[in-house]
Amino acid sequence: MPEDTAAMEVPASASADANLGPAATPPLTPPSHERHSGLIWLIAAAFFMQALDSTIVNTAIPAMAEALRVTPLGMRTALTSYVLTLAIFIPASPWLCDRFGTRRVFAAAIAVFTIGSLLCGMAQTLPQLVGARVLQGFGGAALMPVGRYVLVRSIDKRDFVYSMSTVATVGLLGSVLGPLLGGALAQFTSWRLIFLINVPFGIIGFWLNQRHMPDYRLERANRFDLVGFLLFAAASAMLLTAAELASDDHGQWLQIGLSSLLAVLIGGIYVWHSRRTPHPVADLSLLRIRNVWVALAGNLFTRLGVSGMFLLLVLFLQVGCGWSPLMAGLMMVPQAVGSISAKWAINKLLGHYGYRRLLLGNTMIVAVLLASFALLGKGSPMWLISLMMFIYGSFMGLQYTAMNTLIYHDLDIKHASMASSMSSTAQYLSMSFGIALASLLMGALLHGHAHEDYVAAFRWTVLLLAVATAAASRVFAQLRPDRP
């Protein structure tokens, strides 16, 4: 996001205050979070909508697969396409705000996300659904970055934590309700309502945007790194294409090798290009900072192991164990609750252990918890699965918060905007590859379509993913010991 605040337009409220004469006594004003309550709830609603959409689809995968006449594992493309689109377009959001203003960009993001949701609900085939999910991702890519930026510009520092906590809590509420609501809609109504439910939220958000969203922009925006953006998007798409082809039953090894080679080649060209442009879409020079490259690499390897768990658990519970969509969705709620409940402890734990020791130990605990799911079977009691999900979610909440804040530790504030964009991009990229990896492993280990086959494939897959997660601890070992 823009750093040269002197070059930005001044909000209308600030202009009005400037008209006060020197003798005028300024009236007592309420705290900034009260004056901007409409803005806070607008951004919270956008976060809720995106968090809900990111989780609500998972429990409806079997129902959607049956309606679209594909296998449940074949639905992975509908998940990865959305997440990959988020990763690709997030780096463009700072420039779009600089060039067109936050109000227009946020309005366009809501409109595109809503239209994409409508088209998802109307899709008749998997390719149609994937295309609509890409459109959804294009709109969703600007919601969170623009929302965070506007809060930073509008809310006083002393009120910012309170405001951001309100927004984050509402977003986490979407993560809690998503799996349960998705299961209920798929079981009692239609999976199409999972997407159509976004339409009224989008209409309300569009109206609130016109009333409460300030319009920040630069008078002269930097030139957008279009070449770098296209190179980055092409390399990411080629990598995911290789993963998708590897997950296919036909084993198209020539195409897999060609896609992988193109991804590496295009990625190398981007590295060369980024060193020669003054404002690259991703500033790779930040990787010289130890905390930055460890945070990005640790995020990548950790999420490769854990990002596919939602899909695996849904297939295990619904297809392997014969549970209803509602009951499977209910089992996802303890993980979200555990993640929320663990956040209160992160500051104390970081203060006591520091980033290095906390991430080393917590990553290994997550890997062990992931492997413990291999002990589950068709007759496992509901209370046991709920307890395991809660504990797993608690340690994952610690892991995500520590990884996501590590990149800002000891970082110069002038690099915070670029670091935020690179961190969000890395998170969504690794999530898309994690879903693809989980699907690839389970597809390779699935030797039939009976219930027992899905249970056996699930067990071996989580064991292999646990090994991949444990390997991430080697990345965090590169951190310097924290100063006492």
264 shares its domain with 211: no
Residue 279 confidence (pLDDT) = 79
Whether 310 maps to a domain, the answer reads: yes
Q: CA 142 → CA 25, 102, 136, 312, distances in Å?
A: 40, 10, 11, 29
Split into its structural domains, the chain has a count of 3
Residues 153, 240 within the same domain? no
pTM of the full predicted structure? Answer: 0.77
Residue by residue, what is the 3-state secondary structure of 176-194? HHHHHHHHHHHHHCCCCHH
Q: Same domain for 444 and 468?
A: yes
**pLDDT the model gives residue 112:** 93
Residue (of 73, 89, 33) closest to 308 by Cα position: 73
Split the chain (484 residues) into runs of 10 and give each run's mean pLDDT.
34 37 46 64 82 79 87 81 84 81 89 93 92 91 80 69 70 78 86 88 86 76 81 84 67 76 89 85 82 87 87 87 87 84 79 87 94 91 93 89 78 70 80 84 82 88 93 88 60
Q: Is the same domain home to 241 and 144?
A: no
User: Do residue 215 and residue 238 come from a single domain?
Assistant: no
Q: Which tokens in the block code for residue 289?
A: 């900072």
- Domain end: 221, 236, 252, which one? 221
Nearest to 93 by CA among 75, 79, 77, 105: 105
pLDDT at 239: 79
Residues 47 and 185 both lie in one domain: yes
**DSSP designation for 410:** T
Within this chain, do residues 369 and 294 fall inside the same structural domain, yes or no?
yes
Cα 164 from Cα 167, distance rounded (Å)? 5
Same structural domain, 213 and 361: no
Q: What is the pLDDT of residue 284?
A: 82
- Do 236 and 377 share a structural domain? no
195 and 54, same domain (yes or no): yes
Is 13 among the domain residues? no
- Is residue 21 one of the residues assigned to a domain? no
Q: Residue 353 burial (CB < 10 Å; 0-12/13-18/19+)?
A: middle
Domain span at residue 236 reads: 225-280
SS3 content of the chain, % helix, strand, coil (to 5): 80, 0, 20
- Are the C-beta atoms of 49 and 136 separated by less than 8 Å? no
DSSP string, 435-462: HHHHHHHHHHH---SSHHHHHHHHHHHH
- What is the rounded distance in angstroms from the CA atom of residue 213 to the CA atom of residue 154? 10
Whole-number pLDDT of residue 219: 64
Answer whether residue 3 is part of any domain: no
Residue 312 lies in a domain: yes
CATH code of the domain in which 381 resides: 1.20.1250.20
Residue 288 in domain = yes
- Please tell me whether residues 96 and 238 are part of one structural domain: no
The rounded distance, in Å, linking the Cα atoms of 439 and 103 is 39
Query: Does 448 map to a domain?
Result: yes
